[in-house]
Amino acid sequence: MFNNEEEKWRFPGNNYGSDQGIETPDMETFAKDPIASLARESCQNSIDAKLKGKTARIEFKTFDIKKEDIPGIDSIEEEVDLCLDYRKNNKKIYDVLEDIKKQLNNEMIHCLRISDFNTTGLVGITDNDSSPFYLLTKGSGISDKSGSKGGSKGIGKFASFVASSINTVFYSTLNFAGEEGYLGICKLCSTRHKDTDEKTQGIGYYGNDKKNTPILGKLRLDKSFSRITPGTDIYILGFRQKENWKKDLITKILDSFMVAIYYEEFEVIVDDLFINKNTLSEIIDNNDYISKSSYSNLKSQYLLLSDSSVYHDTFDIGGYGSVDIFLKKFNKEESTLATNNCVMVRYPFMKIKTYKNISNVPCSAMCIIGDNNLNSYLREIENPQHTDWEINRVDDTDLRSELKNIINELRDTIINYAKEKLSSSENNETDIEGASEYLPGIDEDDDSMGNTDVIIEQPVITKKLKTKVKDKIGIRPDDDGNALFPDIGDYTDEGEGASIPEGHNHSGGSDIHDTPNETGYKNEDSDNEIMTHKELSGMQYRLLMPDKNSGKIIISFTSLYTENDCELSIHYFDDSKTKYSVEVLDCTINGEKANLDNGKIKNIKLIDGVKYKMELTTNVREYYRFEVKIYANR
């Protein structure tokens, strides 16, 4: 069909093979958070291509272009029309194509240029099918990256198409050999070739001939820019510029590449904002540049790298390679910066994931994996987004077991290091302001309640945490007002206990326990009501979970009632606000053994005005939001 040897869009036939949709798996991988994906994939590619001894720089620059200045725009519009006609009975695909058509009707097309500098550029513009230029533009699941390179899955390029409202991207490069060229790519869906019954592959190329080879020469879509040094330019046509996209982009770049920027391996320009080691601190402290909910994370990362008070040691992990662990303990004035997490970074200084809840003491940590075998092993089991290590990606049973041991040793090393440094930094006893209120009936001269070892099993804490009545319990709310980290032992009225929204259900998975009603129970053989089951309203419960791994919970309250037969109802809520009953394995009330029946505390006797302290051992092994209520059987 296409016989002319000229620069144009070509949508190759599928040789009567598979029929391709428009929302392909390679694009869906990055669809959840397009800006974050674009930030990570673009930056890591630039760092991987960095010239030795140079600081790689990447620039994100928006611009507008007249529709008629886009090479071969009429051919794209024609192909979209063919797709619309072919997919008119598929509403999902048709609606996506309709949106593309609307964007193409605009006289001006909004675009984003992503350019890197102090890099090699894309080698092999006219070479065979193993060159970097070929793999970037035509490869899928294929990469020439190995060792410690940041990206290696061969699908990161599709993040750019997700950010395009017309699914069209141009790649242009000038490499260190002096070669210069470009190629356009448009990802639509399979449709029938005009005047034939053969279908297309669903992808088009703006190239030089029927082999879709790159066009040699300079591409000038952004009239304000002309490349004169080696590097690569990516032009995203119809850029999906959502509100606060710059803030989202900057936040994600700093979160993922803080170490690379601080070590002066990398710097970034977002429109006119220059981000390097010298401007990091100012940018992090500016709400116009970063998301409020990420401030503690970004600030603590920066302090871990720059603060002289940080603990820093190097550890060998199983003989596979060394890691550097940085740990900072926060005092009372800085406690809002504590994340209690460890950021995991691997060479070339890209954050991969976060280990959460490494300590109950206010702190933040960072682990940097060097350029070694450990780095290479972990890189091989990263997911395509490079945000986690997934052991199940390994088929070999022995290797999978070995990798699991490596990861466990790495995590244990971090947790033990935090425990050692945070508990030995000062020899003060645990001092939680207001903790005495959680231990009713204990006065300075009264030890009748017995010891309180459960309170001091956690690492030494020097920070005092104020006990406050709050609707949402935690010490740092996010943009939506939800707490990110807990105050230990906060409470609310009417049975609400401590709230810690982080975490997942690793407990025994008890069934949901419906809250008892107040209409009473009836004898199965009689219509006569013999008992009522009524909540004791107005009670204020204080709940403390000193150590999640032990499953211990302490509940204290002052009774407002005198009752002889009561039952404790305690539930927890997961991240989706689903309610689960807590199974109580053991319980004492004011030091005396409580009566348990199928994991529930029953036959509780209360006296008006008396303080009660319940010490529970439960099946819960994670921090959650709890609900506490007591019902009287009358």
| Two structure tokens written together for 377 | 């092993």
Residues 495 and 606 in one domain: yes
What distance in Å separates the CA atoms of residue 582 and residue 359, rounded to the nearest whole number? 24
Residues 549 and 402 in one domain: no
Average of per-residue pLDDT across 426-445: 40
Q: Any idea of the CA torsion for 221, 226, 232, 236, to the nearest 10 degrees?
A: -20
Average of per-residue pLDDT across 255-259: 96
pLDDT at 485: 37
Residues 84 and 174 in one domain: yes
pLDDT at 124: 84
- C-alpha dist (Å) from residue 9 to 28, 38, 83, 504: 25, 25, 15, 50
Domain membership of residue 288 (yes or no) is: no
Residues 482 and 376 in one domain: no
- C-alpha dist (Å) from residue 41 to 30, 47, 328, 515: 10, 10, 30, 49
DSSP 449-477: T---GGGGSSPP--S-----B-SS-SSSB
401 pLDDT more than 50: yes
- Asked if residues 338 and 483 have their Cβ atoms less than 8 Å apart, the reply is no
Q: Which of 198, 218, 240 is the last residue of a domain?
A: 240
Q: How confident is the model at residue 150 (pLDDT cuts 50, 70, 90)?
A: very low
Identify which of 342, 291, 287, 350 has the alpha carbon closest to the alpha carbon of residue 315. Answer: 342
pLDDT at 5: 58
- C-alpha dist (Å) from residue 253 to 41, 151, 169, 341, 382: 10, 15, 21, 19, 19
pLDDT at 481: 40
Domain membership of residue 578 (yes or no) is: yes
Q: How confident is the model at residue 35 (pLDDT cuts 50, 70, 90)?
A: confident
Residues 215 and 335 in one domain: no
What does the pLDDT look like over 362-394, one tens digit per residue?
A: 999 999 999 999 999 998 899 877 889 999 888
pLDDT at 531: 66
Residues 336 and 470 in one domain: no
Q: Which of 217, 240, 263 is the last residue of a domain?
A: 240
Give the range of the structural domain holding residue 348, as residue numbers without chain letter: 307-424
Domain membership of residue 534 (yes or no) is: yes
Q: Which residue has the tokens 């990206």?
A: 151
What distance in Å separates the CA atoms of residue 104 and residue 80, rounded to the nearest whole number? 10
Long-range CB contact pairs, 337-342, < 8 A, 24+: 337/296, 337/299, 337/300, 337/303, 337/364, 338/296, 338/300, 338/362, 338/363, 338/364, 338/485, 339/296, 339/297, 339/300, 339/364, 339/485, 340/364, 340/485, 341/297, 341/365, 342/366, 342/367, 342/414, 342/418
1 pLDDT more than 80: no
294 pLDDT more than 70: yes
DSSP 529-595: EEE-EEE-TT-B-EEE-S-GGGTEEEEEEE-S--EEEEEEEEEEE-TT--EEEPPEEEEEETTEEPE
pLDDT at 575: 67
Q: How confident is the model at residue 554 (pLDDT cuts 50, 70, 90)?
A: very high
Which one has a higher pLDDT value, 610 or 438?
A: 610
Q: What is the largest CA-CA distance in the chain?
A: 99
Angle at 76 (CA atoms; ends 72, 79), nearest 5 degrees: 135
Lowest average pLDDT, out of 26-30, 205-209, 435-439, 575-579, goes to 435-439
Identify which of 596, 570, 566 has the alpha carbon closest to the alpha carbon of residue 582. Answer: 570
489 pLDDT more than 50: no
214 pLDDT more than 80: yes
306 pLDDT more than 60: yes
Residues 600 and 474 in one domain: yes
Taking the chain, what is the end-to-end CA distance rounded to the nearest angstrom?
Answer: 87
| Two structure tokens written together for 408 | 């466990």
Helix (H) or strand (E) holding 174: strand 164-174
pLDDT at 484: 36
pLDDT at 445: 38
Residues 380 and 444 in one domain: no
pLDDT at 360: 84
What distance in Å separates the CA atoms of residue 138 and residue 205, rounded to the nearest whole number? 10
Domain membership of residue 279 (yes or no) is: no
Residues 318 and 342 in one domain: yes
Lowest average pLDDT, out of 10-19, 60-69, 78-87, 275-284, goes to 10-19
- C-alpha dist (Å) from residue 96 to 110, 449, 492: 18, 68, 48
Average of per-residue pLDDT across 394-405: 89
Q: How confident is the model at residue 491 (pLDDT cuts 50, 70, 90)?
A: very low
Identify which of 19, 340, 22 has the alpha carbon closest to the alpha carbon of residue 168. Answer: 22
What distance in Å separates the CA atoms of residue 170 and residue 297, rounded to the nearest whole number? 35
Residues 62 and 204 in one domain: yes
Domain membership of residue 573 (yes or no) is: yes
Handedness of CA 621, 459, 487, 254 (dihedral sign): negative
Strands 625-633 and 533-535: antiparallel
pLDDT at 156: 59
Residues 199 and 328 in one domain: no
Domain membership of residue 124 (yes or no) is: yes
- Asked if residues 632 and 566 have their Cβ atoms less than 8 Å apart, the reply is yes
Question: What proportions of the chain, in percent to the nearest 5, are helix, strand and coil?
Answer: 25, 30, 45
Indicate which CATH number applies to the domain containing 102. 3.30.565
pLDDT at 468: 38
The sheet with strand 592-593 has its strands ordered as: 542-544, 552-558, 611-618, 584-589, 592-593
Domain membership of residue 280 (yes or no) is: no
Q: Which of 240, 258, 285 is the last residue of a domain?
A: 240
Lowest average pLDDT, out of 92-96, 259-263, 435-439, 445-449, goes to 445-449
Q: Which residues contact 400 (CB under 8 A, 6 or more apart)?
A: 391, 392, 394
DSSP classification of residue 346: E
Q: Which residue has the tokens 């002096």?
A: 178
Domain membership of residue 258 (yes or no) is: no
**How many domains does the chain contain in total?**
3
451 pLDDT more than 50: no
Lowest average pLDDT, out of 225-239, 446-460, 525-539, goes to 446-460
Which one has a higher pLDDT value, 459 or 621?
A: 621
Residues 39 and 168 in one domain: yes
pTM, to two decimals:
0.66
Identify which of 277, 364, 370 has the alpha carbon closest to the alpha carbon of residue 321. Answer: 370
pLDDT at 622: 80
